A = this chain, B = another copy of it.
Amino acid sequence: MIIGGAEDKLRDRVILSRFVHLAGGAEANVVVISTASSLGEEATSLYRELFVQLGAAHVSGLRPLSRDEAFDAKAAKVVDGCTGIFLTGGNQLRLSSVVGGTKLGMAIRAARDRGAVIAGTSAGASAVSTHMMAFGASGATPKHRMAHVSAGLGLLRDVVVDQHFEQRTRLGRLLAVVAQSPGLVGIGLDEDTAAIIDAEETLEVIGRGAVTIVDGSQIQTDAFHTKGHRPMMVSGAILHSLPAGYRFDLKTRSLLEPVADLSPRSMRVPRSTKETMRRLTRRIAAEGANSLSVERKLPRRQEREASE
């Protein structure tokens, strides 16, 4: 389950309750991994409280900050018995740099293989794939050198995931990556929106916004000889914009019949600790806003003279 960030934490919690449900509901044993976040244990406690409220039996936290810690057998052991793993937001490069290729990284893959549900939000969503969108510039037009790809955690193959998709205008960089790597399907997740991908590579959309899918199988491009930061030619990209309830087959790259019930699923939950929740979500929002400043604009060759 990959989430576009800023998932609803106070109201219907469509996405987070679906995660707990998939992890086994009252039997769920969830591990929150907050390595990506700069908020430390606060991110863990926010999600721990949420998942407990949503009915999970057991929630533990892991926050390795070095590869040594991620190689520690104790960390892998926490993951061994779990039914669900939740990767917080923050900085996906921190997550992949610390966890990728360690014992913990292997334990996460093993958990996936035995049927545990792996969820990531924001940076955590980007990090699940084999090819990870590491960072890049915003904008709707694809440009050369606009996006940087690194190796992710390898839980999802043949896709590249981008999040906060509509809110931070990231179509250009997704098109740029897919044009250079048309074997990958580009998945752009709006905020408070998630794609659930099962073992058959069927994708289902839940949440408030849309999931954008870029299929580059028919693409023609000059990406391989564009220079500098110039716009690249991308012709024939097939675009799908899918709101909640719609399903897509990633293997055949085709739209499937939607789920029967297109209205959002929700669960009633106690509202006792709403204030703590609000404070923590505000801090997480602030962390997200700070990370925006990293998203530099591409240099402009030509000053803009007028814009009527």
Contacts and interface: CB of A to CB of B under 8 A. Distances in A.
Interface of A: 5-11, 37, 88-90, 121-123, 139-142, 164-167, 169-172, 175, 190-192, 208-210, 212, 214, 218, 220, 230-243, 246, 248, 255, 258, 278, 281-282, 284-285, 287-289, 291, 301-302, 304-308
Nearest to A305: B281
A263 B223 CA distance: 16
Given A141-B210, A235-B241, 14 more contacts: A6-B304, A6-B305, A6-B306, A8-B302, A141-B190, A141-B212, A169-B169, A191-B307, A192-B304, A210-B233, A230-B243, A282-B306, A284-B308, A285-B308
Task: Please give the count of copies of this chain that the complex contains.
Answer: 2
A237 B238 contact: yes
Contacts of A171: 140, 171
25 contacts: A5-B306, A6-B304, A8-B302, A10-B305, A11-B302, A141-B241, A164-B307, A231-B241, A232-B241, A232-B243, A233-B243, A233-B246, A234-B239, A234-B240, A234-B241, A235-B242, A235-B248, A236-B239, A236-B240, A236-B255, A237-B239, A237-B241, A239-B239, A278-B305, A285-B304
B142 A241 contact: yes
Contacts of A166: 139-141, 172
Contact of A285 (B192, B291, B306): B306
Given A141-B190, A212-B141, A306 B9 contact: yes
Given A165-B140, A212-B140, A5 B308 contact: yes
A308 B165 contact: no
Given A140-B169, A210-B141, A307 B241 contact: no
